[in-house]
């Protein structure tokens, strides 16, 4: 079975991963020379008299260490830089030394983690050090699309300790359609969202186009399920953010447009539609104006839903959720308190402003719930306004400073819990 991380990326439509990290910084010429010399000296200690490898086959291992060092130095001076790295890898193999590669920093991912992630990302992975990115990568990925994911290290201690990866992040978010992840070991998991918003605000970036991912999370898990969990979280925020951002832009534009249109209407039309007709229906003028905005907003959102961009966003979000749901990735449970608060706002509206707008023509009838602490007010339209059934039409139910109105359906709160109307004693 393919790694969970790879499956999460595939479910998100990611076909190419570009990883920018100083872990991939190639060794310097001095480091390569030391590795090659160490390998040659070890072969001498093993009793060999010559090296069975290309240009180094002429070195006489029976000579002194200083003489061998001079011979190695002379060969490397004539050898192209690319071949020096290949020679270092081959000689370490012959000398049975650890393969040439970067050393993991104490507070960074381990070499094993880097190796496992590179394998999980698959054939679509491209790696760059900071120098390689600025000299080559910037041009190669200047037009990266939505199927590309950038992993950007924030700190570059091996190459340039003063460099901040936020500069790369800012450029990519502003110039490409790709999604970006900023990796850092200096911030913990609990700081991720706060840091993301802070970076977005400081650099004028849309927060749904990137995220911050701490390397210091769930270290008790292997890197693949750990990173798969992070990718699932990140991509869920991404898809939700893209849809929410599209909706917010539509609402903002529609609200401004509707206000301008209302200002252009004839006074006689405004008086009839928003005042006279509203009075006939037994509603507040405020409600009549709000109704116009809600109508236009609903129409604009329905129009936006026909756009191919948001259609693709919805389909991508649905596909991602369905496919990653099969992976059984553990997700921390929340208390849903924030969304319950929104649900309360959907059902109840604070009543202070409404009650102050109620005219003398309205009838306010008080009643008590099953608890003596629960006091509500039933507010009717003007007393001379009746529905066809002959009864006045209730408009709001108020509990202290709260107002609720589902036209003729009411939810009453008693001791903080919703109650059906038949649980209330009317008088």
pLDDT in tens, 146-158: 899 999 999 998 8
Report the pLDDT averaged over residues 110-133: 88
Is the separation of the CB atoms in 340 and 256 below 8 Å?
A: no
**At 332, phi and psi to the nearest 5?**
-65, 135
User: Are 340 and 367 found together in one domain?
Assistant: no
User: Are 369 and 320 found together in one domain?
Assistant: no
Per-residue pLDDT band for 129 (boundaries 50, 70, 90) equals very high
Is the separation of the CB atoms in 418 and 375 below 8 Å?
A: no
pLDDT given at position 200:
93
Tokens representing 359? Answer: 């005219």
Q: Pick the last residue of a domain from 63, 78, 94.
A: 94
Q: Look at residue 7 and tell me if it is in a domain.
A: no
Q: Pick the last residue of a domain from 313, 345, 377.
A: 345
Q: Is the pLDDT of residue 341 over 60?
A: yes
Q: Pick the last residue of a domain from 314, 345, 376.
A: 345
Residues 6+ apart with CB under 8 A from 191: 212, 214
Per-chain mean pLDDT for the chain: 78
Element (H, E) at 300: helix 285-305
User: Are 326 and 376 found together in one domain?
Assistant: no
Element (H, E) at 151: strand 148-153
pLDDT given at position 165:
94
User: Are 299 and 312 found together in one domain?
Assistant: yes
User: Are 330 and 371 found together in one domain?
Assistant: no
Tokens representing 235? Answer: 């991509």
Q: Look at residue 206 and tell me if it is in a domain.
A: no
Q: What's the domain count of the chain?
A: 3
pLDDT given at position 367:
45
Q: Is the pLDDT of residue 52 over 70?
A: yes
Q: Look at residue 380 and tell me if it is in a domain.
A: yes
| 102: region left, alpha or beta (phi > 0 left; psi from -120 to 50 alpha) | beta
Q: What distance lies between CA 130 and its chain's CA centroid? A: 24
Q: Look at residue 217 and tell me if it is in a domain.
A: no
Q: Is the pLDDT of residue 323 over 60?
A: yes
Q: Are strands 125-128 and 16-20 parallel, antiparallel or unpaired?
A: parallel
pLDDT given at position 208:
87
More confident residue, 184 or 346: 184
Tokens representing 162? Answer: 């003063």
Q: Domain limits at 53? A: 29-94
Q: Which residue has the tokens 């400073």?
A: 401
Helix, strand, or coil (residue 312): helix
Element (H, E) at 246: helix 223-264
Q: Look at residue 200 and tell me if it is in a domain.
A: no
In the chain, what is the greatest distance between 2 CA atoms, to the nearest angstrom?
117
User: Are 356 and 269 found together in one domain?
Assistant: no
**At 134, phi and psi to the nearest 5?**
-70, -30
User: Are 244 and 330 found together in one domain?
Assistant: yes
Q: Is the pLDDT of residue 360 over 50?
A: no
Q: Look at residue 353 and tell me if it is in a domain.
A: yes
How many residues in total does the chain contain? 427
Q: Is the pLDDT of residue 141 over 90?
A: yes
Q: Look at residue 151 and tell me if it is in a domain.
A: no
Report the pLDDT averaged over residues 211-223: 78
Alpha carbons 147 and 12: distance in angstroms, whole number = 8
Alpha carbons 229 and 213: distance in angstroms, whole number = 11
DSSP state of 181: E
Q: Look at residue 129 and tell me if it is in a domain.
A: no
Element (H, E) at 180: strand 179-188
User: Are 301 and 398 found together in one domain?
Assistant: no
Is the separation of the CB atoms in 76 and 36 below 8 Å?
A: yes
Alpha carbons 73 and 2: distance in angstroms, whole number = 45
User: Are 405 and 360 found together in one domain?
Assistant: yes
User: Are 267 and 332 found together in one domain?
Assistant: yes
Per-residue pLDDT band for 396 (boundaries 50, 70, 90) equals very low
User: Are 253 and 333 found together in one domain?
Assistant: yes
Q: Which residue has the tokens 């393969």?
A: 99
User: Are 418 and 330 found together in one domain?
Assistant: no
């Amino acid at each position: 079975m393919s790694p969970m991380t790879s499956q999460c990326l595939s479910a998100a439509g990611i076909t190419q991963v570009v990883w920018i990290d100083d872990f991939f910084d190639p060794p310097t010429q001095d480091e390569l020379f030391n590795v090659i010399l160490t390998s040659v000296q070890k072969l001498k200690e093993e009793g060999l008299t010559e090296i069975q490898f290309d240009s180094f086959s002429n070195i006489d291992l029976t000579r002194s260490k200083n003489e061998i060092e001079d011979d190695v130095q002379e060969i490397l001076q004539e050898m192209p830089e690319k071949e020096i790295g290949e020679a270092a890898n081959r000689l370490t193999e012959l000398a049975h030394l650890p393969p040439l590669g970067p050393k993991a920093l104490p507070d960074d991912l381990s070499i094993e983690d880097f190796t496992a992630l590179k394998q999980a990302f698959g054939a679509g992975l491209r790696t760059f050090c900071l120098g390689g990115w600025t000299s080559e990568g910037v041009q190669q990925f200047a037009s990266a699309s939505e199927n590309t994911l950038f992993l950007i290290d924030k700190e570059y201690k091996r190459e340039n300790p003063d460099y901040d990866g936020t500069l790369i992040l800012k450029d990519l978010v502003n110039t490409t359609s790709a999604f970006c992840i900023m990796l850092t070991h200096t911030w913990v998991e609990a700081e991720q969202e706060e840091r993301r918003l802070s970076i977005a605000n400081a650099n004028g970036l849309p927060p749904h186009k990137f995220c911050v991912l701490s390397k210091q999370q769930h270290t008790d898990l292997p890197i693949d399920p750990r990173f798969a969990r992070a990718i699932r979280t990140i991509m869920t925020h991404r898809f939700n953010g893209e849809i929410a951002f599209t909706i917010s832009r539509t609402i903002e534009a529609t609200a401004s447009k509707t206000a301008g249109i209302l200002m252009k209407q004839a006074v006689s039309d405004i008086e009839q539609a928003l005042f006279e007709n509203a009075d006939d229906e037994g509603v507040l003028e405020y409600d009549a104006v709000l109704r116009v905005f809600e109508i236009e907003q609903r129409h604009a959102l329905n129009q936006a839903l026909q756009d191919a961009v948001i259609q693709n966003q919805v389909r991508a979000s649905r596909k991602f959720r369905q496919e990653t749901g099969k992976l059984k990735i553990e997700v921390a449970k929340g208390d849903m308190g924030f969304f319950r608060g929104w649900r309360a706002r959907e059902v109840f509206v604070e009543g202070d402003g409404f009650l102050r707008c109620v005219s003398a023509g309205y009838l306010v009838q008080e009643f008590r719930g099953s608890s003596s602490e629960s006091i509500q007010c039933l507010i009717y339209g003007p007393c001379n306004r009746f529905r066809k059934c002959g009864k006045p039409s209730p408009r709001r139910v108020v509990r202290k400073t709260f107002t609720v109105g589902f036209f003729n359906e009411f939810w009453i709160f008693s001791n903080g819990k919703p109650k059906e109307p038949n649980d209330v004693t009317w008088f």
